[in-house]
Copies of this chain bind each other. A is one copy, B any other.
Amino acid sequence: MPEAQALPDTRERILIEASRLLSINGYHGTTTRDIAAAVGISQPSLFFHFTNKLAIVQELYEHDIVPAVAGLENLVVGPGDPAAKLYAMIVGEFGRIADSPYDMRAHISFEALNHPDLAGFRDLVNQFDDLTRLLIRSGQESGQFVHGNAWLAQQMVSGFLVRANLFASSDQVERQINPREGAALVLRSLLIDPETIEQVEERAEELLPRYRSP
């Protein structure tokens, strides 16, 4: 049972290197030998820390999608208007992925998510989308957002989040993400009156802590 007490350093390094390689080459494109080599241990040593290759991915998803859904759920059920909540979610997501010790840039695009053993995480990803869509719909009904296909709007939000994180780079100034600018960009397309964006921003700032501490 490797799941016990104090985590040794190697286990952590495996997760870090694995996440990096998985983001680049995907699940099937990343071999256990690749991961082991990146960590600097022999390939069989991986199986001392994780029961199998899939367990590494499972743990990465655990760190990624679980807090995301928890945070968004917390935001949705709490006080505030839909626009401020959506703004807070986008800022929170950019921050969460940037602060993660793991490279979760391609978290959604993992083909691994088709694996039966990852069905639970696939459901969580869908739940995140459902909650985002719920936020958009309630904003439409309250007259804050323009009407239209909520699914399409949600794909814009989700697609933007995934894509921006995927191609973000700390080496190039232009590709460093300003979470608030990203959120404002998306909100502009949904708000009936884009002039109100500044008030949305103000209200969202108060909601931000709700996304981080579920």
List residues of A whose CB falls within 8 A of some B CB. 24-29, 106, 109, 111, 114, 146, 148-153, 155-156, 158-164, 167, 174-175, 177-178, 181-182, 185-190, 194
Contact indicator A25/B111 (Cβ below 8 Å): yes
Assess the A164–B160 pair: CB atoms within 8 A: no
Contacts of A186 in B (CB 8 A): 156, 189
Query: In the assembly, what is the distance between CA of A177 and CA of B148, in Å?
Result: 12
Contact indicator B181/A149 (Cβ below 8 Å): yes
The one of B150, B159, B177, B188 in contact with A188, judged by C-beta atoms closer than 8 angstroms, is B188
Known: A28-B28, A148-B181, A156-B186. 17 other contacts (CB 8 A): A25-B114, A26-B29, A26-B111, A28-B29, A148-B185, A149-B178, A151-B175, A152-B178, A152-B182, A155-B160, A156-B182, A156-B185, A159-B160, A159-B163, A163-B163, A185-B189, A187-B189
A29 to B26, CA, bound (A): 9
Chain B nearest Cβ from A83, distance in angstroms: 13
Complex Cα distance, B177 from A29, in Å, reads 31
Q: Which residues of B contact A27 (CB under 8 A)?
A: 26, 28-29
Q: How many copies does the complex hold?
A: 2
**Minimum CB–CB distance for A103 against chain B, Å:** 14
A89 to chain B, nearest CB (A): 15
Q: Closest approach, in angstroms, between the C-beta of A111 and any C-beta of chain B?
A: 4
Contact A188 B146 (CB under 8 A): yes
Give the complex CA separation of A156 and B149 in angstroms.
17
Q: Are B174 and A163 in contact (CB under 8 A)?
A: no
Q: Within the assembled complex, what's the spacing in Å between the Cα atoms of A181 and B149?
A: 8
Shortest A126–chain B CB gap in Å is 10
Nearest residue (CB) in B for A26 is B111
A174 and B189 form a contact (CB under 8 A): no
A193's closest neighbor in chain B, by CB?
Answer: B194
A181 touches B152 (CB 8 A): yes
A-B contact pairs, 25 of them (CB 8 A): A24-B114, A25-B28, A25-B114, A26-B26, A26-B28, A26-B29, A26-B111, A27-B29, A146-B188, A148-B181, A148-B185, A150-B174, A152-B177, A152-B178, A155-B164, A156-B156, A156-B159, A156-B160, A156-B185, A158-B163, A159-B163, A160-B160, A162-B163, A188-B188, A189-B189
